[in-house]
A and B are shown apart, each in its own frame.
Chain A
Amino acid sequence: MKIVVLIKEVPDTYGERKLNIETGLADRGASEAVLDEIGERSVEVALSHADAHPGTEVVVLSMAPEGSAATIRKGLAMGAGSAVHVVDPGLVGADTGLTAEVLAAALRRVGFDLVIGGNVSTDGSGGVLPAMIAELLDVPSATSLNAVEITEDRVSGERASDAATMRVSATLPAVISVTERLPEGRFPNFKGIMAAKKKPFETVTLADLGIDPEAPEASRSIVIGVSEKPPREAGVKIVDEGDAGEQLAEFLAQNRLV
Chain B
Amino acid sequence: MTDFAEDSVLVLVDVMPSGGLAKSAAGLLGAAASIGTPVALVVTEPGKSAGAAEQAAALGAARVLIADSADASVLTVPAVDALAAAAELVRPDAVLLSNSIEGRDAAGRFAARTRSGLAVDVVGVSRDDEGVVAHHSVYGGAYNVDSAVTFGAPVITVRQGAIDARAEAVAEPSVEQLSVTASGRQAATIESIDEAVVTSSRPELRGAGKVVSGGRGLGSKEQFELVERLADALGAAVGASRAAVDAGYVPQAHQVGQTGVSVSPQLYVALGISGAIQHRAGMQTAKAIVAINKDADAPIFDVADFGVVGDVFTVVPQLIAAIESKQK
Complex contacts, B195 vs chain A, CB 8 Å: 163-164
Question: In the bound complex, what is the Cα–Cα distance between A75 and B13 (angstroms)?
Answer: 39
Chain A interface, >50% SS class: mixed
Closest to B80 in A: A135
CB of B307 within 8 A of CB of A238, answer yes
Chain B interface, >50% SS class: mixed
CB of A245 within 8 A of CB of B321, answer yes
Interface assignment of A62: CB less than 8 Å from any CB of chain B: no
Closest to B135 in A: A225
Interface residues of A in 221-253 (CB under 8 A from B): 221-229, 232, 234-240, 243-253
Complex contacts, A140 vs chain B, CB 8 Å: 75, 186-188
Complex contacts, B119 vs chain A, CB 8 Å: 221
Complex contacts, B316 vs chain A, CB 8 Å: 245
Complex contacts, A18 vs chain B, CB 8 Å: 139
Interface assignment of B17: CB less than 8 Å from any CB of chain A: yes
User: How many chain B residues touch the partner (CB < 8 A)?
Assistant: 98
With both chains docked as a complex, state the minimum distance between the C-beta of B127 and any C-beta of chain A, in angstroms: 13
Query: Which of B143, B190, B259 sits near A226, CB closer than 8 Å?
Result: B143
CB of A167 within 8 A of CB of B191, answer yes
Question: In the bound complex, what is the Cα–Cα distance between A180 and B147 (angstroms)?
Answer: 29
With both chains docked as a complex, state the minimum distance between the C-beta of B13 and any C-beta of chain A, in angstroms: 12
Interface assignment of A83: CB less than 8 Å from any CB of chain B: no
Interface assignment of B55: CB less than 8 Å from any CB of chain A: no
CB of A220 within 8 A of CB of B143, answer no
Interface residues of A in 35-91 (CB under 8 A from B): 37-38
CB-defined interface of A122-133 with B at 8 Å, one 1/0 digit per residue? 111111111111
Complex contacts, B151 vs chain A, CB 8 Å: 219
Question: In the bound complex, what is the Cα–Cα distance between A201 and B26 (angstroms)?
Answer: 49
Complex contacts, A133 vs chain B, CB 8 Å: 112
Complex contacts, A127 vs chain B, CB 8 Å: 99, 101, 104, 120-121
Interface assignment of B141: CB less than 8 Å from any CB of chain A: yes
CB of A166 within 8 A of CB of B302, answer no
Question: In the bound complex, what is the Cα–Cα distance between A156 and B259 (angstroms)?
Answer: 24
Complex contacts, B1 vs chain A, CB 8 Å: none
* B-contacting 9-mer, from A92-100, A108-116, A189-197, A202-210: A92-100
Closest to B116 in A: A219
CB of B315 within 8 A of CB of A229, answer no
Known: A166-B194, A168-B190. A141 touches B75 (CB 8 A): yes
Complex contacts, A156 vs chain B, CB 8 Å: 191
With both chains docked as a complex, state the minimum distance between the C-beta of A65 and any C-beta of chain B, in angstroms: 18
With both chains docked as a complex, state the minimum distance between the C-beta of A116 and any C-beta of chain B, in angstroms: 14
CB-defined interface of A2-41 with B at 8 Å, one 1/0 digit per residue? 0000000000011111110000100000000000011000
Known: A13-B259, A97-B115, A244-B318. A143 touches B150 (CB 8 A): no
CB-defined interface of B9-22 with A at 8 Å, one 1/0 digit per residue? 00000101100001
Complex contacts, A37 vs chain B, CB 8 Å: 259
